[in-house]
Amino acid sequence: MGDIKKILAMGKVFPRQITADMIWTDLCEDVHLHYRNVRIDFSEKEFAGFRAAIHHLGQAVEVVSEENQYKEGDPNFLIQQMYNEPLCPDSKYYPNRVTIELERDNTVHFHYRDIRLHWSIEEFIKISEMFTQAKKEYDGLKEFPYKEATQAWVDIDLIQPYDAGHRALAIDQKHRDGIEYVKKLIQDRKHIRPILVGTNGQRLDGFKRYIAHLELGKKKIECIVDPFGIMGGQNNQNFLADEE
C-alpha cells in the first residue's frame, strides 16, 4: 500500500517458471536466503538479526490478528508492527550493485544491491517493456496546474486517484456497482457532480466518478479544487449535479 500519484505501468507476468515452490539457504561467499525466485544476501551477523526479527514479527502478527479479528484482504485494516533493533543502512554485501546478467541456462539475474531476482527470458522481456513504458509515462508527467480554489475541467491523467482506502485493483463489488451506475449516467448525458481534489491533484472525494470517467476513456473530468480539503466520504450516492 502506498500513496500512489500515478501508475506508470501495469501488466501481468507469466506464472513463475523458476523455483516457484522452493525456499532454501546457501552458504557460499555469504548467506543466501532463497524464496521462490528471490534471493537476499546476508552476512552471518545480518542473517542472525533477520531471523530474530522474523521470529519477533511473526509472533506480533499472530497476536494482532487474533486481538483485532483481522480479515485478510481488508484494504482498510492497517496495524504496523515494528522491530526495534535498527538495521545498518547499507548491507555488508553489494550495497551499491545493480547488474543484469544473462545466464548460461538462458535465464536472467537482476541484481539490485543485496537482492537478486531470477527471471525467465519471457519475464525479463515483459518487465523490460514495462520499465520502458513507465519511463515514458514518467517523462510525460505534468504538474497539477491549479494551486488555489477553483472549478475546472482537468486532464484526467493529472489526477492522483488512489488514497489509503483504494489501492489499485482493490475495487469491491459495492464500488463496482456504483461505477457502473455512474457510467450509465454519463452515457445518458447526465450532468455528474464534480469530484473534489486538492491543489496537488490528489482526489479527495469521488472515487466511483473518477473510475467511471477513466473506464469510459474520458480525457477530462470536472473538478472542484479545494486547497484545504480533506478526504471525503465514499458512501454518498448522489452522483447527479444539482442542475442537469
**Rg over CA atoms, the chain:** 23
Cβ–Cβ < 8 Å for 126, 77: no
pTM metric for this prediction: 0.70
Q: Where are the alpha helices (DSSP H) in the chain?
A: 44-68, 121-139, 173-187, 207-215
Q: Which secondary structure element, helix H or strand E, spans residue 107, and what is its range?
A: strand 107-112
**Dihedral sign (CA 225, 227, 228, 232):** positive
The 10s digit of each residue's pLDDT in 97-128 is 999 999 999 999 999 999 999 999 999 999 99
The 10s digit of each residue's pLDDT in 149-183 is 999 999 998 998 876 555 555 677 888 899 999 99
Distance from C-alpha of 226 to C-alpha of 196, rounded to nearest angstrom:
7
The structural domains of the chain, ordered by start, are: 23-139 (no CATH), 150-225 (3.90.1530.10)
Distance from C-alpha of 225 to C-alpha of 199, rounded to nearest angstrom:
6
CB neighbour list of residue 88: distance below 8 Å, 6 or more residues apart: 46
Cβ–Cβ < 8 Å for 219, 155: yes
Listed as ranges, residues in the chain with pLDDT below 70 are 1-3, 75-76, 163-170, 230-237, 242-244
Q: What is the pLDDT of residue 244?
A: 42
Checking phi first, is residue 25 left (phi over 0); if not, alpha (psi -120 to 50) or beta? beta
Q: How many CB atoms lie within 10 A of CB 58?
A: 11
Q: What is the pLDDT of residue 139?
A: 92
**Dihedral sign (CA 91, 95, 101, 107):** positive
> 211 by DSSP, 3-state: which?
helix
Q: What is the pLDDT of residue 116?
A: 97
Cβ–Cβ < 8 Å for 151, 225: yes
